[in-house]
Amino acid sequence: MANNVSLLIVDDEESVRDSLYNWFIEDGFKVECAENAKEALAMLEAGHFDIILADIKMPGMDGMEMHRRIRALNPEAIVIIMTAFASVETAVQALKDGAFDYITKPFDPDDLSHLIRNAAKQVEMKVENETLKNRIVSLENIEDIVGTSQAMMKVLKDVESVSQSNSSVIITGESGTGKELIARAIHSNSSRKFFPLVTVHCGALSEDLLESELFGHEKGAFTGAMFNRKGRFEIADGGTIFLDEIATISGKMQIELLRVLESKKFVRVGGNKEIQSDFRVICATNRDLKKMVDEGLFREDLYYRLNVVNISIPSLRERAGDIPLLVNYFIKKYCNSMSRDLISIEPAALNRLEQYDFPGNVRELENMIERAIVVGNGKEIRLKDLPIGTATPGNSADSLAELEKNHIFQTLNRLDWNISRSAKLLKVDRVTLYNKIKKYNLKKSKGK
Amino acid sequence: MKEQDNCKIFQLDKQRILLVSFGQFEKKFLHKIAAAVQPVIGLPVDIESGYTDLSKYYDPARRQYDGNRLIHFIHSEYAFDKRKVIGLFQVDLFIPILTYIIGQAIYKGNAGVVSFFRLKNELYGLKKDDNLLFERFVKEIVHELGHTMGLIHCYSTICVMRSSTYIEDVDQKEAHFCSKCRQKLDEER
């Protein structure tokens, strides 16, 4: 590691510079020397140094002042202050100003070795941390969004350009097209990527709950509010808030939201202190917000506030060419998560998938592949492993309810009407499944 | 003025090592040191008794001798014809920024110093051990010669080029180069 760490020694005494230079060069550091603060600052402006060892007492600008200027130039620089005059006040001041450590001349050789080793380790960790962060971000972007169709390429291009700004974004698209994935990609490509991405599913919460969720509440604000709680806007400080199903929020919440978006200030429920938060808003909906504005169901001012950039995600049937890629991606994903050998898909099954309309979009395709892997023979996905395998291609004209009914019925039959397993496979809870069975009047066939 | 004494007869090589002693070192002891250093370094090692007034290098405030100035003296007086010269001392050495040094050399240069003083068991309240002292001295001479030949500190715990600021560090390492340092040494030559 020492080979990659650069060190700048700043001391007006030649013997000190020479001694330190010789000492550190033998440790494998890249070492340069400056005899005063002015020269050091010029060297720091011209090039990068990981560690700076600076004397306090120097003619002209002293080491403490130089340290403050180095901080302004590069807040990440590791500065070690050294002096022949030990004083607690100077040491405390140096540390307060952000120095890595403080050492009094002459040093014990072992102390100096330890100090520099620790500083070099910090440099190493910083580099490693940066590399890992970049790796995480790139994994999220590259692996999760699958598709090479023209429609998807346009979406990715939009994501790239919008990521660099702080503008509000509305993502529209049918259910299951991957709106949250696009929101994550925007966030992780933006300068806010190291701050939180906070997701709120507006449709899942009542008006009161949503208000408390978004703005937080003070202790005693309502029955059950036992403690102060931060709201999602507060948690998203520095990052992004993703409001899913924005079309479902009430008129009152629309007004509240507009106010917060304009001022970035709000008050917790039951509180009186104004809180400021720096967040970016990304919304998603599967409904036509413009139409809702025309019908008076959504506030026009809020619509324009949110709709600075609109990204429309194509449905899966509009990018059927991506289906083979998505199938392979989901096969890999589920075979890995189930610790199974990678399987293939027979041509007839793939052909069937390519012809299918996918009203539930990518989510539906994902569920189909997962189920096919679970119920299949462990070697390949066959036509009969797909819930649409036995139906004719013409069933694309069926209603969504009809498709749902058939899908639930086939799943139940396949799993011998085991409600828990069927609910798990369908990714719904047991109560929902019972309600659907009741709604569609599904009954277990004789002999099953 | 200078008394030269070849410890062994070697064929003339481009590079030679010279150990110059200052203080009361027994001639037999110096021969033994040279004989131990030569196979590790792989170059002919000569020994010589040096003469200088050490009081010029004494710092009364620190009660130690200035290692930096002694290196410069050795470099100007002895380091000719590509010779790598190490001055051997009995006294306690320092450099301005450090409380003490055991040895020091000019990186990729031709001069260095090593002192006996901090290698003696007695300094740490332990029983005198001449064999151990000899081993430590050889290790430190080889270490400083390594620096003059372009080697930096090594992370291998047993390599002679491992940085050793405490006597325990000196004892832990061995008196030879690890394979990586050996390879680098061959490349540097």
Q: Which residues of A touch B99 (CB under 8 A)?
A: 106-109
CB B144 within 8 A of CB B104: yes
- pLDDT per position in chain A (448 positions), as tens? 456 788 999 998 888 888 888 888 888 888 999 999 999 999 988 888 889 998 888 888 888 888 888 888 777 889 998 877 666 777 778 788 888 888 888 888 888 888 888 898 888 888 888 777 665 555 455 457 888 888 888 888 888 888 888 899 999 999 889 898 899 888 888 888 888 899 999 888 888 888 888 998 888 878 777 788 888 999 998 899 999 999 999 999 999 999 999 888 998 888 888 889 999 999 999 999 999 999 999 999 999 999 899 999 999 988 888 899 899 989 998 998 888 888 999 888 888 888 888 889 999 999 999 999 988 888 889 888 888 765 544 445 467 888 888 888 888 877 778 888 888 888 888 888 998 888 888 887 643 3
The answer to whether residue A274 neighbours chain B at the CB level (below 8 Å) is no
Cβ pair B153:A27 closer than 8 A: yes
Say if strands A216-217 and A229-230 run parallel, antiparallel, or are unpaired. Answer: antiparallel
Compute the nearest-CA separation of A126 from chain B (Å).
Answer: 21
The answer to whether residue A104 neighbours chain B at the CB level (below 8 Å) is no
CB A110 within 8 A of CB B102: no
- Is the Cα dihedral A218, A224, A229, A231 positive or negative? negative
Task: Confirm whether the ipTM is greater than 0.85.
Answer: no
Q: Kindly report which listed range (A84-88, B131-135, B137-141, B157-161) carries the lowest average pLDDT score.
A: A84-88
Cβ pair A109:B165 closer than 8 A: yes
Q: Which residues of A touch B68 (CB under 8 A)?
A: 15, 18-19
The sheet carrying B84-89 orders its strands as B3-6, B45-49, B17-21, B84-89, B111-115, B103-105
The answer to whether residue A296 neighbours chain B at the CB level (below 8 Å) is no
Which position has the higher pLDDT, A144 or B166? B166
Question: In chain B, whose CA is at the least distance from the CA of A14?
Answer: B96
Q: Does residue B78 sit within a domain?
A: yes
Helix (H) or strand (E) holding A274: strand A274-276
Q: Does residue B64 sit within a domain?
A: yes
Q: Does residue B162 sit within a domain?
A: no
pLDDT (tens digit per residue) in B13-70: 468 899 999 988 889 999 999 999 999 999 999 999 998 899 999 999 999 999 999 9
Cβ pair A26:B94 closer than 8 A: no
Q: Does residue B140 sit within a domain?
A: yes
Least CB–CB distance from A26: residue in B95, B96, B153: B153
The full set of domains in chain A, from first to last, is 2-129 (3.40.50.2300), 145-312 (3.40.50.300), 316-439 (1.10.8.60)
Closest CA to A406 of A373, A436, A362: A436
Compute the nearest-CA separation of B153 from chain A (Å).
Answer: 5
Cβ pair A18:B68 closer than 8 A: yes
Distance separating alpha carbons of residues B84 and B76, to the nearest angstrom: 12
B24: domain CATH number is 3.40.390.10
B15: containing domain: 3-153
pLDDT at position B4, please? 47
Task: Give the single-character DSSP code of A314.
Answer: P
Least CB–CB distance from A106: residue in B96, B147, B165: B96
pLDDT (tens digit per residue) in B167-185: 988 999 999 999 999 999 9
Distance separating alpha carbons of residues A444 and B148, to the nearest angstrom: 89
Q: Does residue B176 sit within a domain?
A: no
pLDDT at position B40, please? 94
Average pLDDT, chain B: 89
- Is the Cα dihedral B168, B171, B172, B173 positive or negative? positive
Determine the average pLDDT of the residues in B147-152. Answer: 93
Least CB–CB distance from B152: residue in A13, A28, A108: A28
pLDDT at position A1, please? 47
CB A193 within 8 A of CB A164: no
Which of A3, A19, A112 would you mutate first to test chain B, the one with the most B CBs within 10 A? Answer: A19
Closest CA to A149 of A309, A312, A356, A325: A325
Task: Give the single-character DSSP code of A445.
Answer: P
Q: Does residue B77 sit within a domain?
A: yes
Instruction: Specify the number of domains making up chain B.
Output: 1
B144 is annotated as an active-site residue: yes
Q: Does residue B114 sit within a domain?
A: yes
CB A281 within 8 A of CB A288: no
Q: Does residue B159 sit within a domain?
A: no
Question: What's the pTM?
Answer: 0.52
pLDDT at position B3, please? 43
Compute the nearest-CA separation of B27 from chain A (Å).
Answer: 31
Q: Please identify which of the residues B77, B135, B144, B188 carries the catalytic annotation.
A: B144
Question: In chain A, whose CA is at the least distance from the CA of B153?
Answer: A27
